Structure 1
């Protein structure tokens, strides 16, 4: 897993306007949240800066938020305090989750924000999905979002510079992605993300981080979910779309 140490402090510039507010972040998953029992226990195991976890807690759902990044967990705790939300935060990688929670603890596990590609290759993804599956009760669901890596790889190595300023907390920034696409699918790829903040005087402060990722095909993910004891109930996969969502239930 990668650290998200530098980016954690400016991560809100990477979140879309539509999901920046915790309530709106939770609302984007209304379809699956309607499947939860009234006394649901939910795990957000790639919590980032906490928008989803805090939004879920705001609905009265019992929420635990975990992330492999200490900085992300800290920011989630800070957001929870800001909104007066009851969210338990734990720093844990996916593989470490069973050390913190008993099997069958949760009714739903979220692994969103296109995070699974940070698991190291097929072995790492399999271990991560197995951990998530173990923590689900029978009939519980994993909700996962992913980049469409078939599309990402087809574009090759490149530099993507946002065509507009993003305003957060009264400051503007330009977001830049630099993609290093390896020759083969199974090799380590890299994404360097830079957030160039511009202040009122015109000065620029750049926060950047080089992140490792291991892409996968949609059909590989489907097979790995099945091996982890999960059955796909719904998928929005479209080879022409940038991202997709998968909902898989534990048999």
Structure 2
């Protein structure tokens, strides 16, 4: 899953205020975290800049964090050091996870932040889910969040410009999303994300990156989870909501 190397240095402008602090981000998963045993082994794959991984480590969990982007892994390691959190960081695509971790290693695997759509089509998505399932102990759980792609595709190609400035590190920025929606579900789609940092006393600093994605229907995800040996316990899917979460246990 290439990408996010250009955005890694400014990714905090894409994180909501509620999820910017590691402890607060981890707290959004209180319900599923309550199911874990003491000193549980947890993997945060597609860890981004590490807010969730560091928040989980702050709760006394044994945490590993992976991402396909070397720059994101570096930022996670830096955040871990800042908070003095013990997090093992590894650069790895989903398919490479079994090269770094033994089967049945984790009590819980997180794949959050709308990351699964970067897996290349149905085949790539199934391979990613299979790799994550392999790492779970029997009875362990996968926690996955996703955009509601049925809504995204219904809106078509478009330009979304934030109606407010986002303030991070003493600077304001405007965030822009350009959606390129392909004709068919199985085709490669594109999202261009641009972050323009603005300052009345200085120049505008802009970074942007075009990311490939392959959307999927909720029903497809459910079927694929079952194919890799995972049974859905709970989900928040609502066809009218922007995002949803699925918790699935390893059979």
TM-score (norm 2): 0.99
Shift in Å, 1:202 = 4.7
Shift in Å, 1:2 = 2.3
Q: How many angstroms apart in 2 are the aligned matches of 1:121 and 1:27?
A: 32
Shift in Å, 1:3 = 1.8
Q: How many angstroms apart in 2 are the aligned matches of 1:2 and 1:17?
A: 26
Name the structure 2 match of 1:176: 176
Q: How many angstroms apart in 1 are the aligned matches of 2:228 and 2:13?
A: 34
Name the structure 1 match of 2:81: 81
Q: What is the DSSP-based 3-state SS (H/G/I as helix, E as strand, rest coil) of the residue aligned with 1:9?
A: helix
**CA RMSD, Structure 1 to Structure 2 (Å):** 0.6
Gaps of 5+ in 1: none
Shift in Å, 1:39 = 2.1
Name the structure 1 match of 2:45: 45
Report Cα offsets for 1:148-203 as digits up to 9, x if no partner. 00000000000000000000000000000000000000000000000000124152
Q: How many angstroms apart in 2 are the aligned matches of 1:200 and 1:108?
A: 46
Deviates more, 1:193-202 or 1:92-101: 193-202
Q: What is the DSSP-based 3-state SS (H/G/I as helix, E as strand, rest coil) of the residue aligned with 2:219?
A: helix
Q: Superposition pairs for residues 131-146 of structure 1, below 5 Å? A: 131-146=131-146
Q: How many angstroms apart in 1 are the aligned matches of 2:195 and 2:2?
A: 18
Name the structure 1 match of 2:101: 101
Name the structure 2 match of 1:148: 148
Q: How many angstroms apart in 1 are the aligned matches of 2:39 and 2:50?
A: 21
Name the structure 1 match of 2:60: 60
Name the structure 2 match of 1:20: 20
Gaps of 5+ in 2: none
